[in-house]
Amino acid sequence: MPSQETTEPARAARALADGYLAVVPTETVYGLGARADDPHAVARIFATKGRPADHPLIAHVYNADAARAWARHIPDYAENLMREFWPGPMTLVLPRSTRAADYITGGQDTVAVRVPGSPVAREVLRALGELTADSSIAIAAPSANRFGRVSPTTAQHAQEELGELLSENDVILDAGPCVVGVESTIIDCSGDAPVLLRPGKITADQIEAVGGVSLGSASSTRAPGTLASHYAPRARVQITDPESLTELGPDPTVGIIALASVPTPPGIVRLCAPHNDDEYAASLYRALREADSLELTCVVAVPPEGVGLAEAIRDRLQRAAH
Ligand code: TXA
Ligand code: MG
């Protein structure tokens, strides 16, 4: 029995240390975590998600020093990024050290590492390091959804996705809605120039400014989770522009996702009305889930324009629509 003083993050750290799974809130989305040095626990992540075994996982660590233990080489531009953006919504793909086993990296010679910024995730990592006497220990964690589905941004969403598949010793932590709402920016740092593998809150401009180098484009690195079809609700997602909305007739089975400045066509279900890109990212996945719980058949989405976080939102909408 946990003592009354046991805090929720401490309970999750205990479960992880004992080889169980924990759903951990991060600032991006909720993750389904296991201690990264336990192949059986990590295998349960794949089984629970229904995820193909060759899709590599992100190793979440407490700080940059811990991240260094997972890489055998870190280019200067990546050190700059680590200093500026960690803890935070950024994942770096680095040449792996011997710590990063094949069952984490999908057999690749690189490993994805992130120092998450949410206080709860940090507390879980700190406590896990203490329990295992290993300050470089990682939590391997993909987003806490079934394979190919929408990432959860609340504990309730994670519960709906995976609750029935977890055991009584696994833990779901609740820290409210995720602040960012879309997955971390993934940057391949295994070559001479950084390559953007997945857009997110940390933008291309920021990477170039802080890294001190231009982004490269070609990359031989696979990012298998970045499939064309991903993040998909059951409802069909259709990307549209504001002008075409006037062609929509009243239809209670159709929902709309768009900035608040875009008026709701008569008889269409409004799923969210964010005022800027930050709000758009933070409400996007909740809105896609809302469409399913309302049993809508179609979602029309008006993507935000411009660069930065808008690119990440367009990326997720395109995959949801594929
Ligand atoms: O915000 C996030 O990144 C969330 C939270 C929980 O940290 N995690 C997340 O994990 O989105 P996941 O597994 O859903 O997506 C991770 C992506 C996948 O597309 C995977 O292929 C890619 O990272 N990835 C992992 N290791 C890699 C590697 N060594 N090389 C290239 N891509 C890698
Ligand atoms: Mg995912």
Hey, whose CA ends up nearest to atom 17 of ligand 1?
A: 225
Residue closest to 60 by CA, chosen among 86, 40, 41: 86
Hey, whose CA ends up nearest to atom 10 of ligand 1?
A: 142
Q: Write out residues with Cβ below 6 Å of ligand 1.
A: 26, 28-29, 31, 55-58, 91, 93, 105, 108, 110-112, 114, 141-143, 183-184, 186, 197, 221-226
- Average predicted confidence (pLDDT) for the chain: 94
The ligand whose atoms approach the alpha carbon of 198 most closely is 1
CA of 291 to the centre of ligand 2 (A): 19
**CA 182 to ligand 1: nearest atom:** 1
Mean pLDDT of 189-205: 97
Hey, whose CA ends up nearest to atom 3 of ligand 1?
A: 184
Mean pLDDT of 159-177: 97
Mean pLDDT of 131-146: 98
Q: How far apart are CA 245 and CA 238, in angstroms?
A: 11
Q: What percent of the chain has pLDDT over 70?
A: 94
Confidence of residue 1 (pLDDT cuts 50, 70, 90): very low
CA of 266 to the centre of ligand 1 (A): 40
Q: Which of 4-8, 177-181, 201-205 has the lowest mean pLDDT?
A: 4-8
Structure confidence at residue 270 (pLDDT): 98
CA of 16 to the centre of ligand 2 (A): 20
Structure confidence at residue 221 (pLDDT): 53
**CA 33 to ligand 1: nearest atom:** 6
User: The tokens of 115 are what?
Assistant: 């120092």
pLDDT tens-place string over residues 293-310: 999 999 999 999 999 999
From the centroid of its chain, how far is CA 72?
A: 25
pLDDT tens-place string over residues 11-41: 999 999 999 999 999 999 999 999 999 999 9
Structure confidence at residue 224 (pLDDT): 52
Long-range contacts of 306-311 (CB under 8 A, 24+ apart): 306/277, 307/203, 307/204, 307/205, 308/203, 308/205, 308/277, 309/182, 309/200, 309/201, 309/203, 309/277, 309/278, 309/280, 309/281, 310/277, 310/280, 311/199, 311/203, 311/204
Q: What percent of the chain has pLDDT over 90?
A: 90
Best mean pLDDT range from 51-55, 204-208, 220-224:
204-208
**CA 186 to ligand 1: nearest atom:** 23
The ligand whose atoms approach the alpha carbon of 188 most closely is 1
Structure confidence at residue 107 (pLDDT): 95
